[in-house]
Amino acid sequence: MNNLDELKNKVQSAYQNWDKNIYQKTISKFPEQQKEFTTQSFTNVKPLYIPSDSIENYNENIGFPGEFPYTRGVQPTMYRGRYWTMRQYAGFGTAKESNERYHYLLKQGQSGLSVAFDLPTQIGYDSDDPMALGEVGKVGVAIDTLADMEILFDKIPLDKVSTSMTINAPAAILLAMYIAVAEKQGVGRKDISGTIQNDILKEYFARGTYIFPPKSSMRLITNIFEFCSKEIPKWNTISISGYHIREAGSTAAQEVGFTIADGIAYVEAAIKAGLDVDKFAGQLSFFFNAHNDLLEEVAKYRAARRLWARIMKERFGARKDKSQMMRFHTQTAGSALTAQQVDNNIVRVTIQTLAAVLGGTQSLHTNSRDEALALPTQQSVKIALRTQQIVAHESGITNTIDPLAGSYYVEELTDQIAKEAENYIKKIDTLGGMINAIEEGYVQREIQKSAYKFNQEVEQGKRIIVGLNKYQEQENSTGELLRINESIQQGQIVFLNQVRKERDNEAVNQKLAAIKIAAEKSDNLMPHILEAVKAYSSIGEICNILRGVFGEYQEHVVI
């Protein structure tokens, strides 16, 4: 038997083992996956395609879906009967208005919620704070107290809906509010599921909604890891975000490298705090961008899974499969949307949706056509959701698992991105880790160089953006835009003052004092924050207590 025959036998044996031990066991949980899948022309589609005629190109880095190093996906069945969670990132104005949008989206077939908070909420200010002037309800929903959160999720069963909350610096407070709302509904902590972004490191170099210095922020994050590992087992305690890194102008390899470097920092901090890696790692999740270069994006996701699996296994000694799996949410690229010829954005989002699905995402938000100009209208949001549904039900790409595996181009791109990302991780290690790399300005400079190069190519016409630097039109009809009423801030202030008047302020002061004492010591802050939230302490009041103990982060100027 020659070497090629031996390799072919090895691959066939590995496939049979995968089919018998993993795939078949998994589909037994989902009977609908046992149905026949065919193309539109009635050709049968296999669950999985493996090297056969091109066996000499077999690469053990590729492997099988649901098996280490998870290049081909974290689930052995992927979308054969169970699609990704379809989320639409939504939130604007008051909690009541956002609640109405959530009910609308759920009726349209959305399978999970994704909450956008306004800027004051994101940086820990109440709606009546002078720092909030002109920003209340503008880029997301305004949340001051538990009373707002109760309205936000009114008549939404939190044991049946998975919720993602894009919140970072005050993530512990918003998570506490969510737990309190669920308990008021009669839903136990072990029955709620969802994600908080809770990724503060990228805020220091890519986004800017930080409050506290890195060391104190990392303490809050590890407090959440510890609390959720015991109390909320279905909750993803962090969504380590490459999305905003890419939006800031990074390359695909930088997005992977810097995101994983952030993840390494979080794991190291948790282990240093005394947590067992296999107790919390299964609750880590990631958040990536879906950009326009379809096949590069597919390769990016595959490379990221492979790298993370090996780092968790080899660097941190994670033993459980779930600890080694990179599960991620994807959002289509906001920075790729143009204000010119906004209907073109529907096409861009479709390409990006294909990239996310072909790359094996676990959940997805599709941007709306008009988001380069304003928050999306209800009609625009529906088109964005329908884009996901058409890809799921009509494109055929969900009928087989990882359909692009084995493509010479995709596999080469996967290897290249993995290698480049690994080099960034090694460089960050030599600088003493991600926090040092941020404080020295290394990460910021690398992203700035990539963003500058891309923009130069657009300005010089070397990179075509349809409608922007080629195929321009004089007339540009955008249609109706969503406009936020300027009176929202005053209404929110009136409601906040009403809550303050009706709550037990003595109890509030006691709970806030307990947070201060816990912050000054080394206690886990989550139980104290939860008690304060239940007493209707405001987000600004809690953050101000923590500001008094931790201080505020001052940005380093990068030259």
Torsion 131-532-194-74 (CA) sign: positive
- Quick one: which of 88, 92, 157, 42 has its CA closest to 389? 88
> What is the per-residue pLDDT across 21-76, written as a single tens digit (0 to 9) for each?
777 777 776 666 566 777 665 678 788 877 754 555 567 778 889 999 999 999 99
Whole-number Å distance between alpha carbons of 153 and 526 = 21
Whole-number Å distance between alpha carbons of 287 and 326 = 10
Q: What 3-state DSSP class applies to 189?
A: helix
DSSP 58: -
Torsion 375-381-383-385 (CA) sign: positive
- Quick one: which of 409, 422, 339, 353 has its CA closest to 385? 353
Written as six digits, the tokens of 419 are: 């290698």
**What is the structure's pLDDT at 397?**
96
Whole-number Å distance between alpha carbons of 265 and 495 = 40
Residue 324 near residue 68 (C-beta atoms within 8 A):
yes
Name the packing angle between helices 95-107 and 378-394 (round to 10°).
30
Whole-number Å distance between alpha carbons of 224 and 212 = 16
DSSP 194: E
**What is the structure's pLDDT at 8?**
75
Answer yes or no: is pLDDT of 148 > 90: yes
Percent of the chain with pLDDT strictly greater than 90: 79
Instruction: State mean pLDDT over 274-295.
Output: 96
Please provide the average confidence, as pLDDT, over all residues in the chain. Answer: 92
Residues 6+ apart with CB under 8 A from 355: 290, 291, 294, 295, 297, 298
Instruction: State mean pLDDT over 182-200.
Output: 96
Q: Which residues pair with 163 in a beta bridge?
A: 113, 194
Whole-number Å distance between alpha carbons of 55 and 147 = 61
Alpha helices in 158-206, H assignment, sequence order: 171-185, 201-202
Whole-number Å distance between alpha carbons of 421 and 441 = 18
Domain ranges in the chain are 85-459, 488-550
Q: To 5 degrees, how large is the angle CA 118–CA 157–CA 32?
A: 110
Residue 164 near residue 195 (C-beta atoms within 8 A):
yes
Q: Which residues pair with 249 in a beta bridge?
A: none
Residues 6+ apart with CB under 8 A from 262: 199, 201, 202, 240, 241, 434
> What is the per-residue pLDDT across 324-348, written as a single tens digit (0 to 9) for each?
999 999 999 999 999 999 999 999 9
Whole-number Å distance between alpha carbons of 154 and 157 = 8
pTM of the model: 0.91
Whole-number Å distance between alpha carbons of 73 and 325 = 9
Fold of 85-459: TIM Barrel (3.20.20)
Q: What share of the chain is helix, strand, coil (3-state, %, to 5)?
A: 55, 10, 40
**What is the structure's pLDDT at 481?**
82
Written as six digits, the tokens of 166 are: 């894009």
